[in-house]
Amino acid sequence: MTSPGPLLDGYAARIVDQTAQLTATVNGAEPTAPVPGCPGWTLAHLLRHVGGTHRWAETVVRTRATGPVSDEQVNLVTPDGDEDVGTLSDWLTDGAARLAETLREAGPDVAVWTVAPGGTPLFWARRMTYETVIHRFDATAAVGATYTLDADVALDGLDEWMEFSTLPQAYASAAEQRVLLGPGGRTLHFHATDAPEGAGEWLIDLTGLPFTWSHAHKKSTTAVRGPLTDLLLLLYQRRSPAPAQGIEVLGDEALLSTWLRAAGDWLRR
């Protein structure tokens, strides 16, 4: 067995842990409960989607796929009429465990197809971590429970989203990306107000292509401040940029809205 390496092993453990927290949150809930962050979905849809996504990524890694793998199980999430939350939770738990085991057996360095630059199981370990983190929030909102997230998890999740936001494939089209271009230091600055000292700042530069991001503090076209978890949820459009939702925006608010909508096209669910 290939050594998983500490980073991949940590992500694998986090996938299992976040899944366990998700299933504990929905224990006893009705499968028909609506999910605010995924309009038109119920809890049953959500659980089938998360479990299907875990199984899709597991297939990619286990088969050492060199090209796209059918994502039918990710998108065909219509529940069977007799499914209950307990049965779906057991299925979700099993899929998360299989994914974690497959990731560890593969190790961080073998070549596999990925939807963005990376090309190794480490990409999928990280991506599936935040797929689960965000949908755990959706499940929490659906049942009216309280959501908390460790600072180190939120920090890495913000880094991942920022990386994706600079890639052409994050956008629906080249035209959608070009709309954001602007002269003279067109930038967005994010500041996590509860981050550990020396962390929690991100600068997105939209002055030219390719877009870039860095950990930096600089006067910007738009400045966004808020707690780590709220900033992460903002990027995934589970929060609105408003003080009532923990977010303060200074400067060009329209730029923030346009960027969030365009750069988030890669992950609408």
CA distance 68 to 114: 8
Residue 81 has pLDDT above 70, yes or no: no
Mean pLDDT for 116-133 is 97
Domains in the chain, start-ordered, CATH in brackets? 6-148 (1.20.120.450), 152-263 (3.30.1050.10)
Task: Answer for the pair 62, 73: CB distance below 8 angstroms, yes or no.
Answer: no
Among 217, 183, 204, which Cα is nearest to 260's? 204
pLDDT tens digits, one per residue of 193-225? 999 988 999 999 999 999 999 999 999 999 999
Residue 43 has pLDDT above 60, yes or no: yes
pLDDT value of position 269: 47
What is the CA angle 264-262-190, rounded to 5? 70
pLDDT value of position 268: 62
CA distance 122 to 5: 10
Residue 82 has pLDDT above 80, yes or no: no
Residue 5 has pLDDT above 90, yes or no: no
Among 207, 246, 206, 208, which Cα is nearest to 224's? 246
| Higher pLDDT, residue 154 or 183 | 154
What pTM value is reported for the model? Answer: 0.95
